[in-house]
Amino acid sequence: MNLFWKNFLGGITSTDKFEQEMAKLGDDMRHYAKTEQSVELAEYNELAHVVNTSEFQQKKKTLKNRKYRDTEEYRDRRKFEALNKKADIRKYYEILHSPELKEFLAFMKTPEAQQLNSAPTENDPDKLKRLRQYSSSKAYKEYTRLNDSYIIKEYEKLKERVSSEEFKQADQFWSDKNRWQSTPEYKQEERFKELAKNPDIAFFLREKPERFNALRSLSRSFIDEFDWNVLSKSNWNFGFHYGNKELVSDHSYTNEQQANNSGKNISVVNGKLHVATRKEQVRTRAWDPAKGFVEKDFDYTSDIMQSAEKFRQQYGIFQAKLRCTGKINHAFWLGCDNKQPLIKIFHFDGKTLRMGRTDENGTDETNVTGLNFSKFHVYTLIWTENELVWMINNLVVNRISTHIPKEEMYLAFNSFITQSQTPQEGLLEVDWVRVYEDRPNPSETLATDKDENN
């Protein structure tokens, strides 16, 4: 697979942009999850169930558009004011509260009231004369005409109503053209609008949570950002790994042109792992298939490091951001106690990148060219029960669905020079390594990673 044109035409996202997108996806997921649990969103949702109902909107429409003259309060007040201006009603209440009527009504409750119906005489007391005269007066007749009448009952009823605190409040409310702004519903709607403008809630509402589906179940199981300076204090060991612990792991091969240098060529420089291949003469132990271990002189040194004793995993996502220089072999791979199976996540042979797996069934891999391997890229293996998928940044470059390894495997990095290559110096640089597994863990999800772009 030649990636030149894909890269040239923008088919591969740049490494910086890819890391930014990964970081943003994690940030967005954290942001979404935090907002989802927020008090503000809970309040917004509660208000949404109120404000967006037809009942609420209809009430708002009524309160805003209803005219004061169409209200009962307006009609009752106007009717009361009209009755209050009527001369006969005003006169009635003057008579009602007059001392003459009070005296007369009090007298009518006494036994002497029967004397009013007797024929008048010159010897009648002045009071009886006065009350008899009042009983036939125009004022008393007006009183008897209106007392306990419908119009007075209506007036009294209206007077009581318009004098009540409840009526005064209702009348004041309906007479206010800006009455809607004084309602609890208005406050609810304004709060709803305010919350809708909240940046966190606005983000939450426009976000598509299915964008995070691939991340939700992933938890970080291994990370190295190379903040150590001594290999013994890291999660790595130098040398090869064998299931039989009696086998010597720190050795080289006679059919290679570099000596594995017992970790001396492994260092961390400015937060990046360096596996350096250098031109220097050493005499060291090397494995010869026919003779076993022999002493051999080498003109170049390099190294290998692996996590076999510290970390292994079956299935998951395995990533490293790396680059290499020198037309020799540089590799990032997964191994096990035996030589096979072996998964090549990144194997640059000086010309071509190889990505695939090797086992007792043979080798199944794809070759990649057309990419500048001296620049950082993120190389990813997605390993599931049914599939192996290789990616460079955002681009899938290989997919295998047969003979999927079923055992835990460790991580390894190394550089080496084959017999057929022209020996030269080289450098494998690794900015970071991350591994995820499909096991939710609230404290260590993929979305909690803080990616820093370099």
Tell me what pLDDT residue 372 has: 94
Mean pLDDT, rounded, for 297-303? 98
Residue with tokens 């309060």: 73
Tell me what pLDDT residue 438 has: 85
Burial 101-120 (b: 16+ CB within 10 A, else e): beebeebeeeeeeeebeeee
Per-residue pLDDT tens over the stretch 333-375 = 999 999 899 999 999 999 999 999 999 999 999 999 999 999 9
User: How many residues in the chain?
Assistant: 454
Q: How far apart are CA 252 and CA 302, in angstroms?
A: 10
Per-residue pLDDT tens over the stretch 24-61 = 999 999 999 999 999 999 999 999 999 999 999 999 99
What are the start-end ranges of the E strands in 196-257? 218-224, 237-238, 252-253
Per-residue pLDDT tens over the stretch 100-123 = 999 999 999 999 888 888 888 888
Tell me what pLDDT residue 123 has: 85
3-class DSSP assignment, residue 209: helix
Q: How far apart are CA 14 and CA 24, in angstroms?
A: 15
Per-residue pLDDT tens over the stretch 244-255 = 888 889 999 999
Tell me what pLDDT residue 449 has: 41
Residues with Cβ within 8 Å of residue 150, at least 6 apart in sequence: none
Tell me what pLDDT residue 217 has: 80
Tell me what pLDDT residue 2 has: 67
Rg (CA), the chain: 48
Q: How far apart are CA 193 and CA 51, in angstroms?
A: 10
Per-residue pLDDT tens over the stretch 227-285 = 998 999 999 999 999 988 888 899 999 999 999 999 999 999 999 999 999 999 999 99
Tell me what pLDDT residue 443 has: 39
pTM of the model: 0.73
Per-residue pLDDT tens over the stretch 373-384 = 999 999 999 999
Mean pLDDT, rounded, for 82-105? 95
**Sign of dihedral through CA atoms 167, 170, 172, 174?**
negative
Position 440 pLDDT exceeds 90: no
Residues of the chain with pLDDT > 70, as a percent, come to 94
Tell me what pLDDT residue 444 has: 41
Position 415 pLDDT exceeds 80: yes
Q: How confident is the model at residue 454 (pLDDT cuts 50, 70, 90)?
A: very low
Q: How confident is the model at residue 4 (pLDDT cuts 50, 70, 90)?
A: low
Tell me what pLDDT residue 120 has: 85
Better-scored residue on pLDDT, 6 or 143: 143
Tell me what pLDDT residue 218 has: 87
**What is each CA distance from 295 to 78, 241, 247, 288, 337, in whole angstroms?**
118, 20, 17, 10, 26
Per-residue pLDDT tens over the stretch 148-196 = 999 999 999 999 999 999 999 999 999 999 999 999 999 999 999 999 9
Mean pLDDT, rounded, for 134-142? 94
Tell me what pLDDT residue 122 has: 85
Tell me what pLDDT residue 246 has: 81
Q: How far apart are CA 387 and CA 383, in angstroms?
A: 6
Burial classification of residue 410, based on how many CB atoms lie within 10 Å of its CB (0-12 exposed, 13-18 middle, 19 or more buried): buried
Position 3 pLDDT exceeds 80: no
